[in-house]
Amino acid sequence: MGTLKIAIVGAGAISGAHLKALSTVDEIEVVAIADIDPTRAEKRAAEFGIPHTYVDYKEMIDKEDIESVSVLTWNQAHAAPSIYALEAGKHVLVEKPMAATLADAVAMTKAAKKSDKLLMVGLKARYGDDRIVAQTIADSGVLGDIYYGESGGFGRLGLPGGSFITKETAGIGVVGDWGVYSLDATLCLMHHPKPVAVSGMSNNYLGKDYKPIFGAHHHGGDFSPDKLSVEDFGAAWVRFDTGAVVMFKAAWISHLSGGGSPFLLGTHAGMKLHPLTIFRWEFGMLTDTQPMNYKETEPIEQFRRENVAFAKAIAEGLPSPIPAEQLLLTNVIMQGLVDSAAVGHEIEVSVPEI
Ligand SMILES: NC(=O)c1ccc[n+]([C@@H]2O[C@H](COP(=O)([O-])OP(=O)(O)OC[C@H]3O[C@@H](n4cnc5c(N)ncnc54)[C@H](O)[C@@H]3O)[C@@H](O)[C@H]2O)c1
């Protein structure tokens, strides 16, 4: 495999994790980084020895000799650089969620199809050994037909800050932040049925009422209730074209510890994700099976595997390892949650033609 030359758009927190992971990957060379805040781009350039910095990503994409672009900006700035790069003939790796809105996700997916370049959505969790093991089990067909699932979970006190909590930058709150990981896991394990209806609700009662709590954990900057303009709680009842239903829920903050493990119920077996367990009738008995020989995969290793998969797909002309068409389903559901919450009842949804 030759060296893939990439440029990065967005020098915020997550660029540090990608660059740390990339520092151990010989087949990828980062040649430039752009951020609307030049100090951030310069900081990352100095830290990781990146030769060029830019304020304007368009100038970077036009000038640099690159094959691909990693879009690591906040959610509301995922679509524009991704589409610009695809139209300029570059492959794109864009951080999760693909976009804050369905309209942006559709525009990105269409741009990828038109350009014939790869658009990969960076969902590092797909590269965790736990997910790989769960997917292997689901792919074996052992679960039978999946008719019900519960996805997501609740944090008791995990409010982030910075760009995660405002409409202008994040566009969507916990549903697109933590929620999308679990939703993606559920859809993969169910082999991507198409959502047809969503009944959702969301709020930010607790975040808006937040008072400093001893030991509070904030990621992405300081939290302040005045700045919060996205949901910190969301839940939806999602119907699929297979007849299956998934209860999807996500909270950065809740008056509950835990919140339950995601699970799937099939006609032949059930699967719980944490800890990974398969529930069956076997040998005339009730059995609970737990795979034993895998360990948790460190986040940096997940970022490394994700970037290596991207480079390998480009080098070998393979399809996108995490295709936009799959993540589009998460955007249909998240948009369904938002739109249904606004009208207060179940709404029909459909997956747009690309
Ligand atoms: N995979 C993961 O584990 C993971 C974890 C955290 C965040 N994320 C995702 O990564 C993205 C970024 O998160 P973050 O924590 O780095 O946020 P952040 O706010 O720290 O960084 C975002 C950066 O994007 C820059 N930016 C915004 N618009 C830009 C533009 N038009 N051109 C150039 N730069 C621009 C900002 O100035 C900022 O420096 C989000 O979409 C988030 O959901 C992924």
| Domains 4-124+300-322 and 129-296 agree in fold | no
C-alpha neighbours within 13 Å on the C-beta side of residue 119: 30
The pLDDT, as a whole number, for residue 153 is 85
**C-alpha 222 to ligand 1 mean position (Å):** 15
Domain spanning 4-124+300-322: CATH superfamily: NAD(P)-binding Rossmann-like Domain (3.40.50.720)
CB within 6 Å of ligand 1 — which residues?
9-14, 34-37, 40, 57, 72-75, 77, 95-96, 122, 124, 162-163, 177, 220
Residues 6+ apart with CB under 8 A from 135: 188, 189
3-state SS class at 277: strand
Atom of ligand 1 nearest to the CA of 122: 1
CATH class of the structural domain 129-296: alpha beta
Atom of ligand 1 nearest to the CA of 75: 41
**C-alpha 258 to ligand 1 mean position (Å):** 27
Residue to mutate (ligand 1; options 9, 95, 104; most atoms within 8 A of CB):
95
Using the predicted structure, report yes or no on whether residue 62 has a pLDDT greater than 70: yes
The answer for 49, left when phi > 0, alpha when psi is -120 to 50, beta otherwise, is left
Please name the residue whose Cα sits nearest to atom 15 of ligand 1. 13
Residue to mutate (ligand 1; options 73, 166, 178; most atoms within 8 A of CB):
73
pLDDT band per the 50, 70, 90 thresholds, residue 260: confident
What is the C-alpha R_g of the chain? Answer: 20
Of 105, 259, 81, the C-alpha closest to 178 is 259
Condensed to tens digits (0 to 9), the pLDDT of residues 197-229 reads 999 999 999 999 998 777 666 666 688 999 999
Strand partners, 304: none
The pLDDT, as a whole number, for residue 218 is 64
Residue to mutate (ligand 1; options 72, 131, 227; most atoms within 8 A of CB):
72
**C-alpha 220 to ligand 1 mean position (Å):** 9
Condensed to tens digits (0 to 9), the pLDDT of residues 302-339 reads 999 999 999 999 999 999 999 999 999 999 999 999 99
**Distance, CA of 155 to CA of 258 (rounded, Å):** 7
**C-alpha 57 to ligand 1 mean position (Å):** 14
Residue to mutate (ligand 1; options 15, 19, 20, 35; most atoms within 8 A of CB):
35
> Cα-flanking dihedrals φ and ψ of residue 198, to 5°?
-140, 135
**C-alpha 56 to ligand 1 mean position (Å):** 15
User: 205-236: buried (b, 16+ CB within 10 Å) or exposed (e) per residue?
Assistant: ebbeebeeeeeeebebeebeeeebbbbbbbbb
Q: Is residue 269 within 8 Å of 143, Cβ to Cβ?
A: yes
Task: Find how far residue 41's CA is from the centre of its chain.
Answer: 23
Mean pLDDT of the chain: 96
The pLDDT, as a whole number, for residue 107 is 98
Condensed to tens digits (0 to 9), the pLDDT of residues 274-311 reads 999 999 999 999 999 999 989 999 999 999 999 999 99
Condensed to tens digits (0 to 9), the pLDDT of residues 147-189 reads 999 999 888 888 999 999 999 999 999 999 999 999 999 999 9
Domain boundaries, the chain: 4-124+300-322, 129-296
> Cα-flanking dihedrals φ and ψ of residue 53, to 5°?
-125, 150
pLDDT band per the 50, 70, 90 thresholds, residue 34: very high
